[in-house]
């Protein structure tokens, strides 16, 4: 395209160019707000996220402005290309970042990469616009007009974003919508170009981007779930946020998985290994496990194993979340897994906080199965303290036994042996063992009783994992899992949470 022709075109395009300053400013700020909001959603700490995103964005805009000097001719064509690029990248940014969040090691990398890229492109816009308009307006007028539209656009964005866009459209669709505005500017300019000056390639690209954005706008609903699915590696078939936790079930092939707050609880492929290992070494050591207590385990899978023992008269199951126990007593998809254990007439379900319940409890039990979530926070960490184990010791009947799931002795040996040392500090005799559960890794358990814990275990028939030789092997701790000196975990030092966090972050990065 000859420069003369282009100059001509620019003259005719004056008003629409000024209008595009407004659109461009609105879109630019929206992308910045999108990135900031997303970062604080996904990374937490809104103040830090917002200020670093905004800082990076402004810096990138400066780079863009500086780079604009490199554009020596063809400003209009460059401007149109920039618009199409911003439409594609900025418009798709929210969707892309959501999808990437759980797939990349460090989410900040794509986040700030994206912010830099969009910022640079947006930084190019206004200088280019000014140069396009410089011959139509005298300098003072030019600066004042462009900046006015720019600031009005910024105002519009900052009002629309929190009041209308986020509540009504959500982040992903907001992105697509403003991408469309950018591409509309590009297409508008392209269509108004004189016949001889047409830019076919740009036109085609603009149309493709616009079509993709429209598709995204309407398909966003699916994308939203896609983002959650991405986090779980398998289709989400059930999701519920209760006052206590987020319950998510996924299913791929024959594999049903339960996640609580994003942490895997079981995979139907190998949960039998976990639950057989959790329950039978304890119950098989009691002469007659008539009264059984299960703490945690609202999925009913441990219950299923407990019920395999003859002589069980009454089981009390204490789980925090009524939504969990309801789901696993009623759902036709889940009851086959626990074989309806939660509705067995011998089972009494109590929905209460285990510590509070145990402290008030005056009853005694022949066997107690303690299946709490891992000590990932100080509030859950309380369930592994000396104070809780003292209450636990009171609840173990003479001749009775307890078993505690106690994280992986391979990944977190300090954490594992802290549980043992703490149970011992409560006056109990302990005996550790471990089992391989493929979806978890090498997993650890600790038996605790008032007196010595022998080797003899009576296993009920029909188990898939445990037999005598396996049981014997489970008691062997090779050097990499061997006992080490640790402190007792107390309410006022919470050493377990600290050890657990340090050891697991070593492998999870």
Partner 1 sequence: MRSFDLSRRGVIGSAAALAACGPTGGMPGSLGGADMARGHLLRDAFGDAVPAETRRTGIAILGGGIAGLAAAWTLAEAGYRDFRLLELEDRSGGNARSGRNAITAYPLGAHYLPIPNVEAVGVRHLLDRLGVITGWQGSTPVFDPYQLVGDPDERLLRLGRWQEGLVPTLALAKTDHDQIERFFAAMASFRDARGSDGRPAFAIPMALSSRDPTLLALDGQSWTAWLDRHGYTSAELRAHIRYVCRDEYGTEPGDVSAWTGIHYFAGRRGDAVGDGDAVLTWPGGTGHLAEAMAARVAGHVDTGHVVGRVRRRGDGVSIDALDAIRRRRVRIEADAAIIAMPRFVAAHVVEGWEGSADGFSYAPWIVANVSVDRLPGGPGAALAWDNVSATSNSLGYVVATHQGLASVGGASVLTWYLPLSEMAPARARALMQARPLADWQRIVHDDLMAMNPDLDGAISRIDVWRWGHAMVRPVPGFMWGQARQAAARFAPPLFAAHSDLSGISIFEEAHYRGTLAAEAAMREAGFAHHSLLAA
Report the interface residues with partner 1, using CB under 8 A: 44-48, 243-245, 320, 353-356, 359, 372, 377-380, 382-383, 385-387, 490-494
Question: Of 150, 299, 371, 374, which one is the catalytic site residue?
Answer: 371
The CA-CA-CA angle for residues 280, 282, 286, to 5°, reads: 105
Query: Which among 429, 324, 425, 316 has a CA at the least distance from the CA of 373?
Result: 324
82 alpha carbon, distance to own chain's centre: 34
**What's the rounded Cα separation, in Å, for the pair 119 and 146?**
19
Query: Which among 197, 277, 265, 182 has a CA at the least distance from the CA of 470?
Result: 277
The answer to whether 381 and 492 are in contact (CB under 8 A) is: no
**What's the rounded Cα separation, in Å, for the pair 125 and 143?**
14
Tell how strand 347-350 and strand 365-371 pair up.
unpaired
- Residue 390 C-beta: closest distance to partner 1, Å: 9
117 alpha carbon, distance to own chain's centre: 26
CB of 44 or CB of 398, closer to partner 1 = 44
Instruction: Give long-range contacts, CB 8 A cutoff, 24+ apart: 251-257.
Output: 256/333, 256/337, 257/232, 257/439
DSSP class of residue 244?
Answer: S
Beta bridge partners of 365: 396
Give the full edge-to-edge strand order of the sheet including 347-350: 347-350, 314-318, 291-296, 365-371, 396-405, 441-449, 429-437
- Residue 423 C-beta: closest distance to partner 1, Å: 15
Is residue 240 annotated as a catalytic residue, yes or no?
A: no
CB of 79 or CB of 112, closer to partner 1 = 112
CB of 71 or CB of 393, closer to partner 1 = 393
- Residue 351 C-beta: closest distance to partner 1, Å: 12
- Residue 393 C-beta: closest distance to partner 1, Å: 14
**What's the rounded Cα separation, in Å, for the pair 235 and 250?**
5
Q: What are phi and psi of 256, to 5 degrees?
A: -100, 130
Burial of 433 (0-12, 13-18, 19+ CB in 10 A): buried
Query: Which among 87, 84, 64 has a CA at the least distance from the CA of 199?
Result: 84
CA-CA-CA-CA torsion for 195, 201, 202, 206, nearest 10 degrees? 110
Query: Which among 333, 336, 344, 354 has a CA at the least distance from the CA of 306?
Result: 344
Q: What is the 3-state secondary structure (H, E, C) of 208-243?
A: HHHHHHHHHHHHHHHHHHHHHHHHHCCCEEEEEECC
CB of 13 or CB of 404, closer to partner 1 = 404
CB of 333 or CB of 491, closer to partner 1 = 491
CB of 124 or CB of 324, closer to partner 1 = 324
- Residue 246 C-beta: closest distance to partner 1, Å: 12
CA distances, 202 to each of 5, 131, 177 (Å): 17, 20, 20
CB of 93 or CB of 245, closer to partner 1 = 245
- Residue 71 C-beta: closest distance to partner 1, Å: 39
**What's the rounded Cα separation, in Å, for the pair 12 and 50?**
40
- Residue 158 C-beta: closest distance to partner 1, Å: 17
CB of 43 or CB of 203, closer to partner 1 = 43
- Residue 404 C-beta: closest distance to partner 1, Å: 15
The answer to whether 255 and 234 are in contact (CB under 8 A) is: yes
- Residue 94 C-beta: closest distance to partner 1, Å: 21
Give the torsion sign (CA, 481, 483, 486, 488).
positive
CB of 289 or CB of 375, closer to partner 1 = 375
Q: Which element (helix H / strand E) includes 502?
A: helix 495-508
Active site residues: 371
């Amino acid at each position: 395209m000859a420069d003369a022709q282009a100059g001509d075109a620019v003259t005719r395009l004056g008003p629409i160019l000024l209008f595009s300053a407004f659109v461009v400013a609105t879109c630019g700020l929206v992308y910045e707000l999108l990135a900031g909001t997303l970062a604080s959603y996904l990374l937490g700490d809104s103040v830090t996220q917002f200020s670093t995103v905004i800082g990076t964005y402004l810096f990138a805009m400066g780079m863009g402005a500086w780079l604009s000097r490199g554009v020596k001719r063809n400003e209009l064509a460059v401007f149109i290309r920039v618009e199409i690029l911003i439409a594609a990248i900025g418009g798709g940014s929210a969707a892309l970042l959501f999808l990437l969040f759980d797939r990349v090691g460090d989410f900040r990398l794509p986040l700030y990469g994206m912010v830099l890229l969009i910022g640079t492109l947006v930084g190019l816009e206004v200088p280019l616009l000014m140069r396009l308009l410089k011959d139509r307006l005298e300098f003072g007028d030019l600066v004042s007009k462009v900046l006015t539209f720019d600031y009005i656009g910024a105002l519009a964005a900052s009002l629309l974003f929190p009041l209308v866009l986020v509540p009504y459209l959500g982040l992903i669709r907001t992105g697509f919508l403003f991408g469309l505005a950018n591409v509309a500017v590009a297409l508008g300019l392209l269509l108004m170009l004189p016949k001889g000056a047409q830019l076919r390639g740009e036109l085609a690209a603009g149309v493709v981007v616009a079509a993709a954005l429209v598709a995204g706008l309407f398909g966003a609903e699916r994308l939203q779930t896609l983002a959650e699915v991405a986090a779980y590696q398998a289709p989400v078939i059930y999701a519920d946020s209760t006052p206590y936790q987020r319950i998510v079930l996924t299913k791929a092939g024959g594999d049903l998985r339960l996640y609580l707050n994003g942490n895997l609880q079981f995979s139907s492929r190998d949960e039998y290994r976990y639950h057989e290992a959790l329950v039978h070494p304890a119950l098989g050591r009691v002469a007659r496990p008539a009264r059984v207590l299960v703490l945690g385990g609202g999925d009913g899978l441990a219950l299923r194993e407990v019920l395999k023992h003859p002589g069980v008269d009454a089981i009390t199951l204490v789980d925090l979340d009524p939504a969990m126990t309801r789901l696993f007593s009623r759902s036709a998809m889940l009851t086959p897994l626990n074989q309806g254990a939660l509705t067995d007439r011998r089972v009494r379900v109590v929905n209460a906080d285990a510590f509070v319940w145990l402290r008030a409890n005056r009853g005694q039990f022949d066997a107690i199965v303690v299946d709490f979530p891992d000590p990932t926070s100080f509030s859950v960490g309380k369930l592994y303290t000396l104070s809780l184990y003292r209450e636990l010791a009171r609840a173990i009947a003479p001749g009775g036994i307890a078993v505690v799931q106690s994280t992986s002795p391979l990944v977190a040996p300090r954490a594992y042996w802290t549980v043992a040392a703490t149970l011992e500090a409560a006056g109990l005799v302990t005996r550790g063992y471990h089992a391989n559960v493929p979806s978890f890794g090498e997993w650890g358990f600790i038996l605790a009783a008032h007196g010595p814990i022998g080797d003899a275990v009576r296993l009920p028939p029909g188990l898939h994992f445990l037999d005598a030789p396996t049981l014997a092997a489970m008691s062997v701790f090779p050097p990499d899992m061997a006992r080490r000196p640790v402190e007792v975990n107390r309410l006022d030092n919470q050493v377990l949470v600290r050890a657990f966090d340090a050891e697991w972050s070593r492998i999870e990065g």
